[in-house]
Amino acid sequence: MDRNPLATFCDNRVFPVVSCLTFVSPPSYPLPMAKLSIQSLDVQNKEVLMRVDFNVPLKHGAITDDTRITAAVPSIQHLLKGGAKLVLCSHLGRPKAGASAEFSLQPVAVRLAELLGQEVKLAADSIGEEVAALRAGLQAGQVLLLENTRFYPEEEKNDADFAKQLAGSADIFVNDAFGTAHRAHASTEGVTHYVKQSAMGFLMARELEYLVYKLDQGERPFVVIMGGAKVSDKIQVINSLMAKADTFIIGGAMAYTFRKAQGYKIGKSLVENDKLELALDILKNAEAKGIRFLLPADTRITQEFKDGAETRVTAAYTEGGEIPDDWEGIDIGTQAIAEFSKEIASAKTILWNGPMGVFEIGSFAEGTRAIAQAVADSAALSIVGGGDSVTAVNKFGLDDQMNFISTGGGASLELLEGKELPGVAALTNV
């Protein structure tokens, strides 16, 4: 089973990867047209601007998780091997008042140089005469990293003049930042208007391959695991996936909205009171379509929201297992773990998006850990759809046991909803 999230493809036109995959019918998703792939480019002695997602977590100026940097390495190495003069651009954090040392990409340049085994120059800015001079002086096989694009408010406004300056003298643009593809920013969409060709990198292609094609053609039973805090955050995904899922497994705080809508007491648990009717509509829709919609049979509860706090597990809801007024639900219970794990074991395709509880706190992490392990143990095609699910999988050391882990939070959700991503739509059609 292919468990390598950075594997390359066997066809030059990766989207769709027709020579790698066999499709019995056209996908039902509203897909973008086939897009130019990095593997189809002639980059020898050409300046290539590449959008990467180097928005890594920092603590006291040190990178605490370099996953997003390592994820971009295959595309970077491919371009350098092809003789490109490579210019990288990315945002980092949400700077509010222009340039700031706190949000500088300097630590990223150091780490990337270590990974590539070669010098990575860091420009002091992302546009301007000095940056243009540095770009003009690049030789084939060299790398220049531009400073944080969000030091300019024009980046998020997709300002045309800023995009033109960012594109500079590049002949080719490569977008490998799937996590920002749902935003029409200057560095994701605007620059495509000022270069000759715009292509997707390996990471971008891999995301589209799994989150669109492989889900669309996945074997049944197809089990969708949804968690997190709010039904409202996932409603469009749920509605979209009802066209193909056999079973939905619901955990996290969003489960309490469903339980309250059914008339159960949920104590102090997080709930969306304005979404109770919506929750009932989802349940009715699933029933009408013959889709299994599994809510937690029991709940782990606490009176103190802290590690080491006392916890209890309610009786099953079918046995009156409601949550007392002064307690709150923070995880799925033992019966829910067993039932969900059994359902996962029978699946052929699994999509997981959202934790089962407050897994960041050790005392409340058992449900998410157990579900992560069940997915890892399954023989099904397993796709982890970004966000907190990825954090959980990494925390429990199970990342190498999943078929695919998405690098995009909001981008993953919007793609699963069937939306067109501006950063993908702007690439060159083939």
Positions annotated as catalytic residues are: 68, 230, 387, 410
Write the DSSP assignment of 334-353 as a string of letters.
HHHHHHHHHHHHT-SEEEEE
Tokens representing 226 are 């949804």
Q: Residues 6 or more apart from 360 whose CB is under 8 A from it? A: none
- How big is the CA angle at 80 (ends 89 and 13), to the nearest 5 degrees? 85
The helix (H) or strand (E) run that includes residue 392 is helix 388-395
Show the beta-strand stretches assigned E in 157-245: 172-175, 197-200, 222-226
Name the residue among 173, 166, 165, 164 with its Cα closest to residue 196. Answer: 173
CA distance 393 to 65: 14
Tokens representing 392 are 């959980």
Q: Report cis status (omega within 30 of 0) of the bond before 16.
A: yes
Between strands 197-200 and 222-226, the pairing is unpaired
Q: Residues 6 or more apart from 161 whose CB is under 8 A from it? A: 154
Give 266's DSSP letter.
Answer: B
